[in-house]
Amino acid sequence: MKKAILYLLFMAMILNILGCSKASNLQPKQTNSSKSEMIEPIKITIMVFANQGMMENYEAVLNRFNDTHDDIEVVIQNVYGEDWSYYDQVLRTGLLSGEIPDIIDISIMFRDKMINEGLLMDLMPFAKKSGLDFDLYFQNQFEGLIADGALYGIPSGAMLMGVFINKDLFKEAGVPIPSTNWEDTWKWKEFEDAAKKIKELSSKDNPVYGMSMSYTIGWILPFLMSNGSNFLSEQNDDCSAFQPPAIETFSFLHKLMFENKVSPDIMQLLTWQPYQFFIDGNLGMTVDGNWWMEGFYNSVNFDWSIVPMPIGKTTATGMYIDCWAIPSASSNGEAAFEVLKFFLEEEQQKSGIMKGIPPLKTTATEIYKNRFPNLSENEINVWFDGIKYGHIPAYFSGWSDFQKETTEIFRQLGLGESTIEDSVQKICESYFKNR
């Protein structure tokens, strides 16, 4: 009985969240009285995961939509929590209860599962009817969204991994700046040598580190991809972390970061993130994503740049693309698609609702050139050219738990409490348990 009461209280809490969006500045629709007597606008609800800045951008875009569409009115619900797992929980509870948003914001971690469960509407009929020209957009951004002729969502921007470098430290150490050409850039050996040489600038009073990154599976993945490992980049029944390409990758990064000590040690990284060392000017390079472009532009006071990921056996990087989709249970599919098509217009993509590189080719280049005047065209093109080499991880339903467990595994490895072989064994156990 007690469990039943607790469950009902939980459901009531979730439904209250679904029914009440966080404070929104969307303006009430102003309609001509004669028109409103004839036609009641279709109300479209969009549910998003947005911080304060992103929410303000959404409101500006949706106010423009409502002002220019008499037949549709959009309202917004913001479910912003600690991570996407909370959002997914609220969304699924709403779908079960019948409280269905017409448009949903989806993390790539949960996208494929929702498609496989039949929870997302096929948007291709609406796209064809409206004459949507896919050639105007980066095709890689639709990877996984188009399957068997069906379209399950509209990309909300591409997030890629690259290497941010402190050009001042590179010059001081006499290290050449790597090429911005993904096919002709540095190799792992040159990446390693650069980190070691920059580390030599360190002194007792002024510690300097050659490279660092988050020592977690998400940041290790681009190196696995580059070294030819299909672990976590393809759906497999076995655990290919045991295979040589993966073992080589784990060994390379562990030795470079913690045995050669070009990185802050693992205990330092638990309290001070790599990007913070980079912002402070004490780190030669950090592997991270283009979501840090704005933060570094606004925070650092040295000459910095972006270069491709170093090449192992092949040119590759990690790419992560969230999307907007329409639940299959929505009764307003066509009207909701009008909103999504509006999001793809040039003016809206310049308004900050995209999470990475906007899908519209012309808009993306213009936005980055105007926003980061300190970077050359070749430097900016590292991101756009990188899309061609981007690979989306093969996420699975238990990814969040897998990520937490492997973070602890890598922590123990970094501390010297575990060997590479023991760590790989634990990684595979977590993989089989959670996938």
Q: Say whether both 186 and 255 belong to one domain.
A: yes
Q: Is 17 within the bounds of a domain?
A: no
The confidence score (pLDDT) of residue 9 equals 43
Q: Which of 352, 324, 357 is nearest to 338 (CA)?
A: 324
Q: Is 339 within the bounds of a domain?
A: yes
The confidence score (pLDDT) of residue 140 equals 79
The b-or-e profile of 228-255 (16+ CB within 10 A means b, else e) is bbbbbbeeeeebbbeeebbbbbbebbbe
- Bridge partners (DSSP) of residue 324 are 105, 154
Q: Is 193 within the bounds of a domain?
A: yes
Distance CA 8, CA 4 (A): 6
Distance CA 178, CA 187 (A): 9
The confidence score (pLDDT) of residue 27 equals 66
Q: Say whether both 307 and 420 belong to one domain.
A: yes
Q: Say whether both 217 and 330 belong to one domain.
A: no
> What are the C-alpha distances in Å from 111 to residues 45, 206, 334, 341?
19, 46, 21, 20
Which DSSP category does 290 fall into?
A: G
- Mean pLDDT over all residues of the chain? 89
pLDDT at position 233 over 90: no
Q: Is 2 within the bounds of a domain?
A: no
> What are the C-alpha distances in Å from 37 to residues 40, 41, 75?
7, 10, 21
The confidence score (pLDDT) of residue 38 equals 59
pLDDT per position as a tens digit, 384-409 = 899 889 988 988 878 888 988 999 99
pLDDT per position as a tens digit, 189-199 = 999 999 999 99
Q: Say whether both 184 and 288 belong to one domain.
A: yes
Report residue 29's pLDDT band, with 50, 70 and 90 as the boundaries: low
pLDDT per position as a tens digit, 202-223 = 998 999 999 999 999 999 999 9
CB 133 within 8 A of CB 52: no
Q: Which H helix or E strand runs over 161?
A: strand 154-166
CA dihedral sign of residues 329, 331, 337, 342: negative
Instruction: Return the top range by mean pLDDT from 10-14, 22-26, 145-149, 396-400.
Output: 145-149
| Residue 141: φ, ψ to 5° | -70, -15
Q: Give the domain extent around 60.
A: 22-157+321-371
The confidence score (pLDDT) of residue 136 equals 93
Q: Is 3 within the bounds of a domain?
A: no
The confidence score (pLDDT) of residue 8 equals 42
Q: Say whether both 113 and 186 belong to one domain.
A: no
CB atoms within 10 A of CB 370: 9
CA 227 to chain centre: 22
The confidence score (pLDDT) of residue 268 equals 92
Q: Which of 170, 267, 159 is nearest to 211 (CA)?
A: 170
Report residue 25's pLDDT band, with 50, 70 and 90 as the boundaries: low
pLDDT at position 42 over 80: yes
pLDDT per position as a tens digit, 295-343 = 888 889 999 999 999 999 999 999 989 999 999 999 999 999 999 999 9
Q: Say whether both 145 and 164 belong to one domain.
A: no
Q: Which residue has the higher pLDDT, 369 or 26?
A: 369
Q: Exposed, middle or buried by CB within 10 Å (0-12, 13-18, 19+), for 298?
A: exposed
| Residue 364: φ, ψ to 5° | -60, -50
Counting the structural domains of the chain, the total is: 2
Q: Say whether both 312 and 348 belong to one domain.
A: no
Q: Say whether both 348 and 245 belong to one domain.
A: no
pLDDT per position as a tens digit, 169-186 = 999 999 999 999 999 999
Q: Say whether both 167 and 307 belong to one domain.
A: yes
Q: Is 11 within the bounds of a domain?
A: no
Q: Say whether both 300 and 330 belong to one domain.
A: no
The percent helix, strand, coil of the chain (3-state, each to 5) is: 50, 15, 35
Distance CA 130, CA 166 (A): 47
Q: What CATH number did the domain enclosing 347 receive?
A: 3.40.190.10
Q: Say whether both 345 and 411 belong to one domain.
A: no
Which DSSP category does 273 fall into?
A: -
Distance CA 98, CA 106 (A): 18
Q: Is 210 within the bounds of a domain?
A: yes
CA angle 154, 306, 246 (to 5 degrees): 75
pLDDT per position as a tens digit, 53-88 = 788 889 999 999 999 999 999 999 999 876 787 888
Q: Say whether both 265 and 365 belong to one domain.
A: no
CB 107 within 8 A of CB 157: no
Q: Is 12 within the bounds of a domain?
A: no
Q: Exposed, middle or buried by CB within 10 Å (0-12, 13-18, 19+), for 424?
A: buried
Residue 9 DSSP SS3: helix
pLDDT at position 19 over 80: no
3-class SS string, 292-360: HHHHHHHHCCCCEEEECCCECCCCCEEEEEEEEECECCCCCHHHHHHHHHHHCCHHHHCCCCCCCECCE
